[in-house]
Amino acid sequence: MLQTAIDHSQAVVNGKVRLKLYKGNVIVAGRQSDDSLFDKHIATFEEDAGAYNQADAEGFIKLNALRMRIAANRGRSPL
């Protein structure tokens, strides 16, 4: 059952990894995949041309914090 679930997840696990072997260490030096979910337009530290709206993060954080604020207002630790 577990194996079936794990195998199901692997359909997209395709691509290449470049590794550096050095004195007992295995260090990943690069990876690429046609099935990659990494999007540099979104993740970039440079100008992203609207790919990610930083203002959206405010509401995301506020709603995530809602239950903590309610608990804190009652003098309880939310964590």
User: Binding residues for other proteins, per CB under 8 A?
Assistant: 1-3, 5-7, 9-26, 28-29, 31-33, 35-38
CA distances from 54 to 4, 38, 48, 58, 59 (A): 39, 18, 10, 8, 10
Looking at beta carbons only, is 23 or 74 nearer to other proteins? 23
> Which tokens go with 47?
């100008």
21 Cβ contact partners less than 8 Å away, ≥ 6 residues apart: 27
* Smallest separation (angstroms) from other proteins to the CB of 47: 24
* Smallest separation (angstroms) from other proteins to the CB of 64: 16
* Smallest separation (angstroms) from other proteins to the CB of 50: 23
